[in-house]
Amino acid sequence: MNEALRVQYWLDEYAKDHQHPLNQRLHKICVPLIVLSLVGLLWAIPVPAAFAEISPALNWATAFLLAALVYYFILSIPLALGMAPLVLLTVLIVDRLALLPWPVWATSAVIFVLAWVGQFYGHAVEGRKPAFFRDLQFLMIGPLWVLAAAYRRLGIPY
């Protein structure tokens, strides 16, 4: 099998830049927050009227999340199945954030900046650059890395 299609290859490569315990803890907090904030930012981008007429849930955020799930299914069916309810939870949270009296993009932007500050602080402690500086695909691997750690603790194979 092509090495780039093996999930363990990507998780191992990602892990090389995340050895320090503080960096690992920060990533396990900040990666989900970055995903949440990115979904919120995408949610706020206006969609064509034809999309909105089909469903209010049909927007750039849900399109991105569906594409991400397809990518995850290519890498690992068990991890993708674990990501699916997390994706749904993210959509539900962003939908609730959109009900706040200020724009969802504003809340998302604050979360995005603060979470990235946490990520970069973790990498400063680690003394290594973020993995996505080597390959942008690592931006998609981060959430799987967090979930894979939970799977390992629970003894779930992936």
Q: What pLDDT, on the 0 to 100 scale, is given for residue 55?
A: 84
Confirm whether 54 is domain-assigned: yes
In a domain, 34, yes or no: yes
The predicted structure's pLDDT at residue 92: 95
**Two tokens at 61?**
């955020």
Kindly state whether residue 22 falls inside one of the protein's structural domains: no
Q: State the DSSP code for 2.
A: -
Per-residue model confidence (pLDDT) at position 3: 54
For residue 10, tell me if it sits in a domain: no
Does pTM top 0.85 for this prediction? yes
CA distance 123 to 107: 25
103-71-58 Cα angle (round to 5): 35
CA distances from 89 to 22, 39, 65, 86, 121 (A): 26, 11, 12, 5, 27
Identify the pLDDT of residue 2.
58
125: containing domain: 27-154
Pairwise CA distance, residues 54 & 52, whole Å: 5
CA atoms within 13 A of residue 146's CA, in its CB half-sphere = 19
CA-based end-to-end distance of the chain: 16
For the chain, the domain total comes to 1
Q: Could you list the pLDDT tens digit for every one of the 158 residues in the chain?
A: 555 568 999 999 999 999 999 999 999 999 999 999 999 999 999 999 888 788 878 899 999 999 999 999 999 999 999 999 999 999 999 999 999 999 999 999 999 999 999 999 999 999 999 889 888 889 999 999 999 999 999 999 98
Structural domain contains residue 20: no
Q: Is residue 73, in this structure, part of any structural domain at all?
A: yes
Contact of 39 with 65, CB cutoff 8 Å: yes
Residue 103 CB contacts under 8 Å (≥ 6 apart), including other chains:
44
